[in-house]
Amino acid sequence: MPVQLCERNPSVPRDRLLGELVPPPRFAEVSFDSYLPDPDQPSQTEAVRRLRAFAATLDARARRPRWWSSLSRPERSPSGPGGIYLDGGYGVGKTHLLASLWHAAPGPKLFATFVELTHLVGALGFHDAVAALSGLRLVCVDEFELDDPGDTVLVSTLLARLREAGVRVAATSNTLPGRLGEGRFATADFMREIQGLAESFDSVRIDGPDYRHRDLPAAPEQPSLAEVERVAGGAGASFDHFVDLTWHLADLHPSKYGALLDDVEVVCLEDVRTVEDQAVALRLVVLADRMYDRNLPVVASGVSFDELFAPALLTGGYRKKYHRAVSRLVALAREGYSIA
């Protein structure tokens, strides 16, 4: 029988929340050498060079690993910028490069999405989050979000406290679609939002098309329900009705969405529908990120994922999140299409 995500309500202890703040499985073994710059985009080669240089400024002396709650502040190298920011559009390899930096850096260190950091602060409280993270050498923040003022101030303040403790910071973000060259660059927005941190950041610009869409159709054809049910009968599959899943997500803290997918190898959904409610849509964005992190193929009947979010959402204040989710879900659906 397939797993039903709607029947799961995982418990995620504090130690797991902290221990999972590493590059997701999709980027678990990437490196600067495995990043393949587009020869037509010299900024990609330059980005690798500058990130290697930033990694070289970190203190490379090995230290005995300690657990998160008892980390002492390591000695830092005084050379190099306090932070580095990767600026580019969707699918140009920013996460690959950020994870490569994390792998190249000495510990203790952390890798998290912007959303994961907000969830961590919500789970631990601001003071305890600062205390838990102040002993790190490097914090990597993927997809720094500029469209929610409250969360932006929260994370910016957290990073400011960490910088005061000597922690180095690396980050990526995307600007809103329709701004600064069709949503491709966000340096001005990012530097404005991090305010006091801006002077310690170097910005690295990365040009290029979305590799997930190079020479590929917008979305694969959706399989029939019978095909979805066939895949759902295989080992490691989950199977849920789309509407039931959206209701279930409303009852879970987003910090549990990753644990919801434990031991799942392919996600099967019945009757995917276009979403118009913003609260439902934002929860689906977080779930899509967790599925993408785990490289989980998706096999789903109903509307295609490039029609998942209503047009009004795709032009609203959170459109950056929705565009990213569509890009990732379409990529996972292509993988699922090969299974179905």
The answer on 279 and 195 residing in a single domain is no
Indicate whether 65 pLDDT > 70.
no
Beta bridge partners of 138: 109, 168
DSSP 193-213: HTGGGGGGEEEEEE----GGG
- The dihedral over CA atoms of 122, 125, 131, 133, expressed in degrees to the nearest 10, equals 0
Q: Which residue has the higher pLDDT, 12 or 263?
A: 263
Domain presence at residue 22: no
Whole-number mean pLDDT of the chain?
82
Strand, helix or coil at 43? helix
The answer on 184 and 63 residing in a single domain is yes
> What amino acid is encoded at 54 in this protein?
F
The answer on 324 and 274 residing in a single domain is yes
Predicted pLDDT of residue 74:
44
The answer on 187 and 227 residing in a single domain is no
How confident is the model over 57-82, as a mean pLDDT?
50
> What amino acid is encoded at 122 in this protein?
G
Neighbouring residues of 184: CB distance < 8 A, sequence distance ≥ 6: 88, 89, 175, 207
Indicate whether 73 pLDDT > 60.
no
Indicate whether 212 pLDDT > 50.
yes
The answer on 232 and 195 residing in a single domain is no
Predicted pLDDT of residue 16:
86
Q: Which of 305, 244, 318, 306 is nearest to 279 (CA)?
A: 318
Predicted pLDDT of residue 53:
92
Q: Which residue has the higher pLDDT, 288 or 73?
A: 288
Indicate whether 187 pLDDT > 70.
no
Predicted pLDDT of residue 72:
45
Predicted pLDDT of residue 100:
97
Domain presence at residue 200: yes
Percent of the chain at pLDDT exceeding 70: 81
pLDDT band at 213 (very low <50, low <70, confident <90, very high): low
Q: What is the pLDDT of residues 278-318, one digit of tens each?
A: 999 999 999 999 999 888 999 999 999 999 999 999 888 78
The answer on 164 and 52 residing in a single domain is yes
The answer on 180 and 72 residing in a single domain is yes
Domain presence at residue 18: no
Domain presence at residue 17: no
pLDDT band at 164 (very low <50, low <70, confident <90, very high): confident
The answer on 56 and 200 residing in a single domain is yes
Percent of the chain at pLDDT exceeding 90: 44
Predicted pLDDT of residue 78:
43
Q: Which residues form the domain of 333? A: 5-12+216-339
Predicted pLDDT of residue 152:
78
Predicted pLDDT of residue 66:
43
Least confident window among 83-97, 106-120, 144-158, 278-292: 144-158
Domain presence at residue 111: yes
Strand, helix or coil at 126? helix
Domain presence at residue 327: yes
The answer on 241 and 182 residing in a single domain is no
The answer on 254 and 162 residing in a single domain is no
The answer on 281 and 335 residing in a single domain is yes
Predicted pLDDT of residue 188:
62
* Domain end call among 209, 229, 253: 209
Domain presence at residue 110: yes
How confident is the model over 95-119, as a mean pLDDT?
92
Predicted pLDDT of residue 216:
43
Task: Look up the CATH number of the domain holding residue 107.
Answer: 3.40.50.300
Tally of domains within the chain: 2
pLDDT band at 195 (very low <50, low <70, confident <90, very high): low
The answer on 193 and 170 residing in a single domain is yes
